[in-house]
Amino acid sequence: MTSLAEKLHLSTSHGHHGGSSTITTKDGTKIFYKDWGTGQPVVFAHGAPLNSDDWDAQLFYFGSHGFRVIAHDRRGHGRSSQPWDGHNMDQYADDLSELIEHLKLTNIILVGHSTGGGEITRYMARHGTRRVVKAVLISAIPPHYGALIPKALFDGQRASILTDRSQAYRDSTVPFYGYNRPGAVASQGVVDKFWLMCIQGSVKAHYDTVRALSETDFTEDLRGLDVPVLVLHGLDDQIVPFEVSGKLSAQLPKKAVLKTYEGFPHGMHTTHADVINADIFAFITGQTV
């Protein structure tokens, strides 16, 4: 049966893809990645300090709707190597470029959540958009999230990582998914998975990434984009507030569409996966499910 993506003449990749594997970057870092399905490639970049498992709901959904889905663990995170150096947006973007080149991907949809939104933005700024047709920013840190948030907050995050990062991750789950809001029902499974993804990573990578996500300015990166960009942001995002990120990001690219969600949290691609998946699908295909 012909997939919807193929009917829309979007497919550029054929055949079976290899499940999960690793590449070794130029500096010797091993990057773990998943590569599932066939069709037009959708490449996902996760938030910090998580890993590619955070995209479970999206990988299954888009893989089941005729797309090839690729998601990697950023260096120092998940199942990738844990080097001492390289935990900055330029290197993250270069690692992503090496993965895309290795897989010979074209006609790509890039999707980034939180820090991953910065990663895909910097990738397009450093490596161009010749392989990219559209991009999606979900609860993302651009254009310059840290410039409008007190530095003391990030200093506190770094201190908590060094003091007791296991407890810090458990504590951060609550605002991440909006479980501190009236009427919210926390999923212990989501909480446990969040902690597990975090604790798999490197303390050095997580410490350095706080600086990368808070101090990197993506303003000119966004302004230079020439592909359509969908900006998705929850209005109750307690981690990356809409007013300092999504609202501003949507004003910079040449072709940007902003969609906001009343009451949705930072991790809305997990808590409201059905809504987010459908909106991304519509953006990619021009059709609703």
Which residues participate in catalysis according to the annotation? 114, 237, 266
Task: Classify 20 as helix, strand or coil.
Answer: strand
Helix spans in 21-150 (H): 56-64, 89-102, 115-127
Structure token pair of residue 70: 């690729």
Residues 6+ apart with CB under 8 A from 217: 143, 144, 147
Q: What are phi and psi of 71, to 5 degrees?
A: -145, 135
Strand order in the sheet with 132-138: 19-24, 30-36, 67-72, 40-45, 108-113, 132-138, 229-234, 256-261
Cis preceding linkage at 49, omega within 30: yes
